[in-house]
Amino acid sequence: MKVSDALISESELASRLRLSVTRLARRLRQQASAEAHISPSQQSALSSVDRLGPVTLGDLAAVERVQPPTMTRIMSGLEQAGLVSRHVDEHDRRIARVQTTVAGRRFLERSRGRKDLYLSNRIRTLDADDRAVLARAAVILEQLLEGEGK
């Protein structure tokens, strides 16, 4: 890290982080798209379904921050691709829950593996000090995302 990097303002740091995170996210999406026959919105929703377990479309729409009709379209595409399945709720037949299928979980595993490999290969080019800084930055970014950062 250069001395000038440590002396930048919070707004400049925010701008640089935003740009770097956006570019990294784009590169990771490109790694996932090697096989992807689904959109980034579908991939995000599929990951949420996998993480949350059987979930209603309304709850999923809230998590993904989209309108329910949008989530219905996203899930229809994933269902047609065989990556999720819908089941009527046992207690309230008006409610449907979605969950990942075996094919959906395999798709996510392959996608995550490609992304992890890409990052591992990039990180491998750094020296030990820079890798240690990234390890600390990962913890700090996780805190920011959880709202627990200082």
pLDDT (tens place) for every residue of the chain, 150 residues total: 454 566 789 999 999 999 999 999 989 888 876 666 888 899 999 999 999 989 999 999 999 999 999 999 999 999 999 999 999 988 888 888 999 999 999 999 999 999 999 999 999 999 999 999 999 999 999 999 886 544
Q: Which two tokens stand for residue 27?
A: 């590169």
CB atoms under 10 Å from CB of 67, counted, come to: 10
Secondary structure of residue 97 in the 3-state scheme = strand
Q: Are 99 and 85 in contact (CB under 8 A)?
A: yes
Give 88's DSSP letter: E
pLDDT of residue 74: 96
pLDDT of residue 72: 94
pLDDT of residue 3: 47
pLDDT of residue 61: 96
Give 98's DSSP letter: E
- Residue 107 makes CB contacts below 8 A (sequence gap 6+) with 35, 46, 83
What's the order of all strands across the beta sheet hosting 84-88? 55-56, 96-100, 84-88
pLDDT of residue 150: 43
Q: Are 107 and 46 in contact (CB under 8 A)?
A: yes
Q: Which two tokens stand for residue 137?
A: 């930055």
pLDDT of residue 92: 86
